[in-house]
Amino acid sequence: MAKRSNKHREQDGSAGIVPASAEAILDAADRLRTGKLVAFPTETVYGLGGDATNDEAVAAIFEAKGRPSFNPLIIHVASLDMAEAVAVFDDRARAVAARHWPGPLTLVLPRARDCAVSLLASAGLDTVAVRVPGHPIAHALLNAASRPVAAPSANRSGAVSPTRAEHVGAELGDAASLILDGGACPVGIESTVLDLSRETPRLLRPGAVTAEAIEAEIGALEISDGSDGISAPGQLASHYAPNAPLRLGCTDPRPGEALLAFGVQVPSGFERVLNLSETGDLTEAAANLFAHLHALDAAEVSGIATMTIPDEGLGRAINDRLRRAAARD
């Protein structure tokens, strides 16, 4: 095991972006155990992590993000065994966990009787949202911390999600005591959220694990339209939004407007253009989505137009994020 030093501890609570070395991961785990917040990469987006069993750490996450307390947090754990200590698994949950964990799938399940996770993290509900991330840095951190970690996206509530360490630093400043830099997130959009706390499974948020893949394993799904309240992250009508107004399915430029393009046929006349995937690859498009939105927003354009994305497979998850980003309170 790597020996710790104080080089990542300049000041108590001070933020800094550091490469996610073995030493830095041990330092980050120490900070989590003492109630501090740490930002770290997952395969989906960067998370703002805190000890999920510590009420004060969980409250600090809500405060740092400006997140409404009725919006639950996802609990990250290192293994299925750790997940079963906080949630009640049935045969369906074990089947999809065996197939998709570690990976970008969150399960909403009944809280275990002796669940140590703060009720604040569950927004007072009798369910808990839990996943085992597939990113090696996240996995190493969770193992080193030896406890469940509440970790929503490391950005202000409702803003564009971070897929690079510099996005976290620009968005949250010193809210995290440390930011582990693991490069760009390979998936690039938040996890699929599947509610298995009821008899009929319900898809609450689309993601990289598609509805078709889940239905092939456990049968037909209900698709939530959000009308039955907030029971998991990512269900707010307005979310993932850049500062610039967003228009969907556009090919006609407005003055000073940028374009979030897709595919080879790109219209002209826009102030700036970034292409999610010139080849029309949805996996590449998902990985680029939030980074491109950050870049276009930083260009101080009058608005951002988006081209049409096929509403199939991973495209459904991309369109879900774009629709919520375009919504205004």
**Sheet with 178-181: strands ordered across:** 17-19, 178-181, 38-41, 46-51, 149-150, 74-76, 127-131, 105-110, 192-195, 202-205, 222-223
Our CA angle for 153, 181, 33, nearest 5°, is 70
* Euclidean distance between CA atoms 143 and 322, whole angstroms: 34
pLDDT at position 6: 37
Please give the C-alpha separations between residue 113 and each of 50, 54, 82, 130, 194, in angstroms, as whole numbers.
22, 18, 14, 15, 21
Does 15 have pLDDT greater than 90? Answer: no
Same fold, 17-223 and 246-326: no
Share of the chain above pLDDT 70, in %: 91
Average pLDDT over residues 79-90: 97
E strand or H helix at 11: none
Residues in the chain, total? 329
What dotted CATH number matches 17-223? 3.90.870.10
Alpha-carbon distance of 149 to 25, in angstroms, equals 14
For domain 246-326, give its CATH number from 3.40.30.10, 3.40.50.11030, 3.90.1150.10, 2.40.10.10.
3.40.50.11030
Helices (H), 79-149: 80-84, 91-100, 136-145
Cα Dmax for the chain: 59
Alpha-carbon gap, residue 211 to 117, rounded angstroms: 28
Per the structure block, which two tokens stand in for 20?
């996610």
Residue 236: pLDDT above 90?
Answer: no
Residue spans of the domains in the chain: they are 17-223, 246-326
Exposure on the CB side of residue 128, measured as CA atoms within 13 A: 30
pLDDT value of residue 157: 87
Q: What is the mean pLDDT of residues 77-104?
A: 97
How far is it, in rounded angstroms, from Cα 165 to Cα 248? 28
Q: Supply the pLDDT for residue 10.
A: 37
Give the model's pLDDT for residue 240. 73
What predicted TM-score, i.e. pTM, was given to this entire model? 0.89
Mean pLDDT of 289-303: 93
pLDDT per residue as tens digits for the range 126-180: 999 999 999 999 999 999 999 999 999 999 988 899 999 999 999 998 899 999 9
In angstroms, what CA-CA distances link 81 with 15, 25, 103? 32, 22, 15
**Taking the CB of residue 271, how many other CB atoms lie within 10 A of it?**
18
213 CB burial (10 A radius; 0-12, 13-18, 19+): middle
